[in-house]
């Protein structure tokens, strides 16, 4: 089965702070077709996020497919509050790379 990486289909894949205890992730598509393809593929789910980030599902506070913007957004609780000792990404902006290589089936 032919696949494409999520990074090839999405216009924007990013992460950022959502307060001191959460990080939010945005996956935004330019074309409706790519958005619908990813949405219908089942390749990007809460379960996928848990596996990729090694977290339990109760750490995911939101998982939204927002059709008007061709966007998928999810938010997770941080291991440690932003800026606390041992926390390595104050702004939460370096957490998105594991999403780039998600394989999306091209049915």
Give 104's pLDDT tier (boundaries 50, 70, 90). very high
Domain assignments of the chain as residue spans, ordered by start? 11-96
When the pLDDT of each residue in the chain is averaged and rounded to a whole number, the result is 95
Q: What is the pTM of this model?
A: 0.93
Express each pLDDT in 44-74 by its tens digit: 999 999 999 999 999 999 999 999 999 999 9
Q: What is the pLDDT of residue 20?
A: 92
Q: What is the pLDDT of residue 88?
A: 85
Give mean pLDDT, residues 8-35.
97
Give 107's pLDDT tier (boundaries 50, 70, 90). confident
Gap between the Cα atoms of 46 and 5, Å rounded: 18
In angstroms, what CA-CA distances link 82 with 3, 18, 57, 87, 96?
36, 10, 21, 7, 16
């Amino acid at each position: 089965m032919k696949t494409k990486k999520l990074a090839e289909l999405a216009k924007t894949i990013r992460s950022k702070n959502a307060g001191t205890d959460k990080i939010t992730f945005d996956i935004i598509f330019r074309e409706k077709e790519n958005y619908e393809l990813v949405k219908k593929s089942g390749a990007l789910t809460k379960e996928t996020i848990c596996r990729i980030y090694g977290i339990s599902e109760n750490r995911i506070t939101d998982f939204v497919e927002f059709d008007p913007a061709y966007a998928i957004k999810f938010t997770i609780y941080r291991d440690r509050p932003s800026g606390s000792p041992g926390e390595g990404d104050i702004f939460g902006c370096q957490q998105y790379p594991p999403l780039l290589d998600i394989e999306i089936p091209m049915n």
